[in-house]
Structure 1
Amino acid sequence: METLYPYALLVHLCCAIIFLGYLFFDVAILSRALKRFTPELASKIEQAIGSRAIKIMPICVLLLLLTGGVMLSNYVGGEKGWLETPFQRLLLCKVALACVIFALVIFSLACKFLNKSNPLAPIIHPFVLILGVGIVICAKWMWFI
């Protein structure tokens, strides 16, 4: 697994940039820009962006999960323990936040593919963006404690 680590890290970072970049764009820029358009045009813009995002984002999330698991195995489990060091505690906090994001992605995809309305739709992207920022903070902080 140690030979895969640099590759997993590279894929993980690229996917995280894509995922959080899209969320930031959606929350901070697109949602406010759409208010300047007519509702019909805003809806068309959202559908155009959403139809592309629905093809890319699940793959990014899956790759984040898989590469995160590969990297996680280098730091926890077995003889290394699970909550032995502050590093491991922050790492597992990061994993818990990522699991919440993954559950929300699964829930949203299920709603989409079952043609059900998503009751979390108005708040899901800002909430996931906040969780993502929390993950980034944990990812940096755990190397300094």
Structure 2
Amino acid sequence: MELLYKTILIVHLFCAMLFMGWGFAKLFVIAPIKGTIGKDNFDNLQKELSKRVWKIYPANMMVLILTGTILSMQYLTFENGIFPTTFQTMLIIKVLLAYGIGVKVVFSITKRLLFKIKNAEDPNPVESSAYYYIFTVGVAIVLLAKLMFLI
């Protein structure tokens, strides 16, 4: 059972790195080069990157949520109430934040894939607050994950 848990944990961490890495790249690598390479080149770069990312992004997000749920069930017990320990309280906060990101991403994926809304391509992160929200909450989740085992 411990080998299964560790395997799921490794898959979860890998998916989280991909997820957070794309957010970091969009906000701190791709967006700042717009003025350097020009608007047309920037739009082409963003379009090509988005095509590649959207091939793995939905599946990565689903695996991330599934593995996170499995991992959290290992520690969540409600025998002594909802918030019996600091660890469980932090875990519940972390899970709620993660599901908040999940809802935002699922909405975005649904809008893009099912409704085919005009101009539903991956927006410029400077023009979209979603990337800032997702990246900020993602950083908070990582910090909570580390603090949970320290406190």
TM-score, structure 1 as length reference: 0.90
Q: Which amino acid aligns with 1:126?
A: Y
Matched, 1:131 2:147: no
1:3 deviates by 4.6
Between 30-39 and 45-54, report the one with greater CA deviation.
30-39
- In the alignment, which residue of structure 2 is the partner of 1:46? 46
Structure 1 unaligned residues grouped into runs of 5+ = none
Percentage of identical aligned residues: 31
Q: Which amino acid aligns with 1:142?
A: M
1:22 deviates by 1.2
How far apart are the structure 1 equivalents of 2:106 and 2:52? 17
**Aligned-pair RMSD on alpha carbons?**
1.7
- In the alignment, which residue of structure 2 is the partner of 1:141? 147
- The equivalences for 1:72-83 within 5 A come to 72-77=72-77, 79=79, 82-83=82-83
TM-score, structure 2 as length reference: 0.87
- The equivalences for 1:1-145 within 5 A come to 2-77=2-77, 79=79, 82-113=82-113, 114-116=115-117, 121=123, 122-145=128-151
Structure 2 unaligned residues grouped into runs of 5+ = none
SS of residue in 2 equivalent to 1:35: helix
Deviations 1:75-125 (A, max 9, x none): 01354754211000000111011011101111111221212256xx51111
SS of residue in 1 equivalent to 2:149: coil
Between 76-85 and 22-31, report the one with greater CA deviation.
76-85
1:11 deviates by 0.3
How far apart are the structure 2 equivalents of 1:98 and 1:11? 16
How far apart are the structure 2 equivalents of 1:58 and 1:23? 14
